[in-house]
Structure 1
C-alpha cells in the first residue's frame, strides 16, 4: 500500500498532497514525496514514515521517545511516532513483506468522514511541530476538506458514484475428496448465491500444484481451504502468488467456516 512508506508531511509535501501534485507527477522527487511512489515497492528503503498497522519497533526506542500520542483520534499517530523515532536518533526502514488482512474494514478514502479525520490529524501534527506555519496550514487544510466535500456531493448529485455490481460467485474448494460434500454444504449455506462449486482434490494433487497453475484459477471468485489438508503457510503462499488479488478466501476447520473474507493487500 502507498501508506507503507512516506515522508514527513512538511508544508511543501502537504501542499503537493492536498492539491494533487503528487498524483500528477508520481515520478517526481520534488512533487511526490508524500507516499514516495518512485521508490521500488519490492525493495528495502530507508524512509521517514511507516504505517502503524504493521510496524516493528525496538522497546528501547519506545522507552526513549514515548508511546502513541492520544491527541490523534484516527490517522497521524504513526506519522507522529515515526517523527519522534527519527528525532530520537533512530532510522525507519521500509521492508517489502506481505501481510494477510482478514475480518476487517478500512475507511474509504473518498468518504467525507475520512477526509475530515485525515486532514484533522494533519492539523494536529502541524500545530505540534510547525507552530509558526499553523495559520497557513490550517487554511489549506480547511480548503482541502471543503473542496473534497464539494466534489463528493457533486458526484452524488450527478449519480457518478459507482453502483456495486452483482457478483456471480464461483467457489473452488481445496480438500480431500471424502470431505468435499461436507465443506461444500457449509459453503453453500453461508454463500447462497454461489454459481457453482468445484473441487481441487488434495488426494490427487498437492496445494503446490495449485500454486504452480494459479492462472487456471482466475475464473474463481472464492477459494476455500480445508485445514489441516492445506497448511496455513501453503494458504498464505497461494494467496500471495494468485494473479487476481480480489479473490475472497475461506478456511474450513472442524466442521465449519472459521475465517471468511480474508484478502491479500
Structure 2
C-alpha cells in the first residue's frame, strides 16, 4: 500500500525544481508512513443545510486528501430541501449519508454524525470548504508528534484569497467585543491589544497554540470529545466551537493552529441571505456562553444585547455583500484548465447560463505558477474558474493568495457543478 501511496501522489505543475518536488514527495511519504504504522483512523463529519453543490465540491477534495488514510466520511443532511442525498449518494457510494427531517442546528447535527463515527480522530468540516491533498496527513502527523494537542485548526482563506482571522482566536471578552464593534480591531489588525480576539499579533503563516478553533475545520481526538459529550446542544448555531475549545483546554489539552497548509472556506453559505437574523443568533449564542462560563454573566448579558442591536443596525444600513453583487454581474471570468478539457468548461458555463461572463482561457501545459501568474496579469479578470485536478488544489490556493481581490471558483473532473452557480 505504501508503494501505491508514493507512486500516486498528487500531480504537480512542471516548472519547479526537481529536488524540491522529490523532497515534497519524501516528506509526504514519511507522514503517511507514520499514519499507517500507527493505524491512525479518521472520521470526517460534514453537515449540509441546502448547500448541495458545495458539499459535492468539498467531497471531491476530501476524497483526494484521504484516499491513503483509513477513514470514513459522514454527511449529515440537516433538514435540507435541496434533495442532497439522492443527488450525491450515487456520486459518492462510499460516503455515509444521514438524514434528519428537521434542522437540528450545527451542534446536534454534528453530534448525530459523531454517534456513527469510529475513527481515532474526528474532523468537523464545513461543506463550503476545499482542502489540499496533504491537509489531513499533516494534521494527523501533528497529533502523532504532539501528545498534549487535543484539537487543531488550520489557516483558512475566503474566495478572494484573503486570510480569515477566525482561523485563530482568543476567548471572547467584553474588551475584545468593544474593540471589534468600535472598529479598532479593523484599524489595527496586527495589534495584540485591539485585535486580541483574532490574535492579530500572531503570524497566520506560523503554528501557534491558541484558545479557540473554528468549527469550520476542527480536528479532535475522539477520546476527548467523547469524554466531553460532543458539542453543547444548548447552542443552535455559532458559539459551540468556542465552548468546545474552552472545555478541551479545561480538560488539560492544548489547541493548536497550523499555518500550513491553507484551505478555502467560502464562509456562511447556508446563511448568506439572512445576515441580520444570523447576527441575532450569534449574540444569543454569546449569551449562552457567558452565562455558562462567566461569573459576572448577569452584568455582561445586557451589554451583549446592546452589541447585538448595534451590529444588527449596521447590517441593515450596510449595502449588499460584495459576493452577491459580483455574482450578479457575472463579468470577466477567466478559465484555467488543460486545453483538452476546455470544451467541458464551456459546456458547464452554458449549462448554467453564464457564457456571457467568459473572458478568456489560460491553458495548463508545463507552466510554473509564476508563469500562470504572469498570464493572469495580462487580463482584466474579476473572477477565475479553475478545473481540478488540471491544477493541484494546493497550487490553486497559492494562486488565490497571490491574486487577492479576484474571486475564485472551481469545477472538478467529471462534474458540471460550479460553486455559486447551482
CA apart distance, 1:114: 2.8
> Out of 367, 380, 396, which is 1:238 matched to?
396
Residue 215 (1) aligns with residue 374 (2): yes
Q: How far has the Cα of 1:252 moved from its partner?
A: 5.1
Aligned CA distance change for structure 1 residues 33 and 148 (closer, same or farther; 3 Å): same
Q: Name the SS of the counterpart of 1:184 in structure 2.
A: helix
Give distance in 1, aligned partners of 2:266 and 2:189. 30
Cα shift readout 1:208-251 (whole Å, capped 9, x = no counterpart): 43554313214342324275xx26xx243133224224333332
Counterpart selection for 2:186 from 19, 23, 28: 23
5 Å-filtered alignment, 1:186-265, equals 186-190=348-352, 191-198=354-361, 200=363, 202=364, 205-206=365-366, 208-209=367-368, 212-218=371-377, 219=379, 220=381, 221-225=383-387, 230=390, 234-242=392-400, 243-245=402-404, 246-251=406-411, 253-254=413-414, 256-257=415-416, 259-261=417-419
- Give yes or no for contact 1:211–1:238 (8 Å, CA) kept in 2: no
Closer/same/farther in 2, CA of residues 181 and 152 from structure 1, 3 Å limit: closer
Instruction: Judge conservation of contact 1:8–1:48 (CA < 8 Å) in 2.
Output: yes
Listed as ranges, the matches of 1:1-265 within 5 Å are 1-96=164-259, 97-101=261-265, 105=269, 107=271, 111-130=275-294, 132-153=295-316, 155=317, 164=325, 166-177=329-340, 179-190=341-352, 191-198=354-361, 200=363, 202=364, 205-206=365-366, 208-209=367-368, 212-218=371-377, 219=379, 220=381, 221-225=383-387, 230=390, 234-242=392-400, 243-245=402-404, 246-251=406-411, 253-254=413-414, 256-257=415-416, 259-261=417-419
Superposed CA RMSD: 3.1
Is the contact between residue 188 and residue 194 of structure 1 (CA under 8 Å) also seen in structure 2?
A: no
CA distance in 1 between partners of 2:225 and 2:192 (Å): 31
Deviation, 1:57, is 1.1
Q: Give the direction of change, closer, same or farther, for the CA distance of 1:13–1:109 in structure 2 (3 Å limit).
A: farther
Distance 1:226 1:25 in 2: 37
Gaps of 5+ in 1: none
Deviation at 1:41, TM superposition (A): 0.6
**Which entry has the higher C-alpha Rg, 1 or 2?**
1
Structure 2: runs of 5+ lacking an equivalent: 1-163
| Alpha-carbon separation, structure 1, partners of 2:311 and 2:188 | 20
Which structure is richer in relative contact order (CA contacts within 8 A, separation 6 or more)?
Answer: 2
Asked if the contact 1:170–1:196 (Cα under 8 Å) also holds between the matched residues in 2, the reply is yes
The question of whether the paired residues in 2 share the 8 Å contact of 1:103 and 1:260 is answered with no
Residues 224 and 20 of structure 1: is their aligned pair in 2 closer, same or farther, counting only changes over 3 Å? closer
TM-score, reference length from structure 2: 0.51
**Deviation of residue 49 (structure 1)?**
0.5
TM-score normalised over the length of structure 1: 0.78
Task: Assess, with a 3 A threshold, how the Cα gap between structure 1 residues 209 and 76 changes in structure 2: closer, same or farther.
Answer: same
Matched length: 246
Rate the CA distance shift 1:20–1:136 in 2: closer, same or farther, 3 A.
farther
1: CA distance between counterparts of 2:335 and 2:385? 5
